[in-house]
Amino acid sequence: MNASTEQQALTAILVKNEDREAISLANSQGQETLVQLKDYPCENDQDLADLGEILQSVRISFKSLEEKRTSITKPLNAAKQAVDAMFKPAKDLLESAESTIRAKINDYATRKENARLATLAEARRLAAMNQAPAVTVTAPVVPAPQAATASVYFKPSWTYEIVNPELIPRQFLAVNDAAVRSHLAPFAHADSVPEVPGLKFTKTQTMVAK
């Protein structure tokens, strides 16, 4: 039995006929409501009130459907958490072993690279003193990706650290969305907000359904 068949068999056991009927009913209601709303007007207070009643009916159906769904998934999630907890100690030990191995390998690679750079620097120093043949320094050649012929190999990459934020080009910067929203939050009910150079603020309305 493959994974797909096992999943279908488990679903058949967990989802009862009454749940399937509720899903089918909610599906029909959703389709009918969407058809009803296609050309439904909202031009006056009465239309608004009517739409509010439809919205309330939709939300009640959604809540009922969600309760049925979570009644099935909640015990499954609890069982998953219990299984994860059983496996976690052994996984933690293996991950710790892997981290230890990686640290040793990276330390060796760093020492080896530092030794190579030290040898190159010494060769350049001696060349500058005319005590050794001149060393021709060319642009670095980007090596091709190393084939994974062994269980351990090194994949080159670059990382970075910020040393002077003021010198970073604009294309590498991003707006602090959280800070902007925090700036706007106290003025939710105001007619205007303090300006911020480079930003345009537009007031919007978000519907809240009870």
* 8 A C-beta contact, residue 203 and residue 187: no
Helices (H), 15-165: 17-37, 45-128
| Spatial CB neighbours of 177, under 8 Å, sequence gap ≥ 6 | none
* 8 A C-beta contact, residue 51 and residue 40: yes
Residue 70 lies in a domain: yes
Number of structural domains, the chain? 1
Residue 33 lies in a domain: yes
Q: What's the confidence (pLDDT) of residue 6?
A: 81
* 8 A C-beta contact, residue 171 and residue 155: no
Residue 47 lies in a domain: yes
Query: Which of residues 94 and 114 earns the better pLDDT score?
Result: 94
The alpha carbon torsion through 184, 190, 195, 199 (nearest 10 deg) reads 50
Residue 167 lies in a domain: no
Residue 93 lies in a domain: yes
* Model-wide pTM > 0.75: no
Residue 86 lies in a domain: yes
Residue 202 lies in a domain: no
Read off the pLDDT of residues 7-41 as tens digits, 9 standing for 90 and up. 888 888 888 899 999 999 999 999 999 999 999 99
3-state helix, strand, coil in the chain (%, to 5): 65, 0, 35
pLDDT tier, 145 (very low <50, low <70, confident <90, very high otherwise): very low
Q: What's the confidence (pLDDT) of residue 97?
A: 96
The yes-or-no verdict on residue 131 having pLDDT over 60 is no
Residue 182 lies in a domain: no
| Token pair belonging to 132 | 């050794």
Structural domain of 107 = 15-128
What is the percentage of the chain residues whose pLDDT exceeds 90? 50
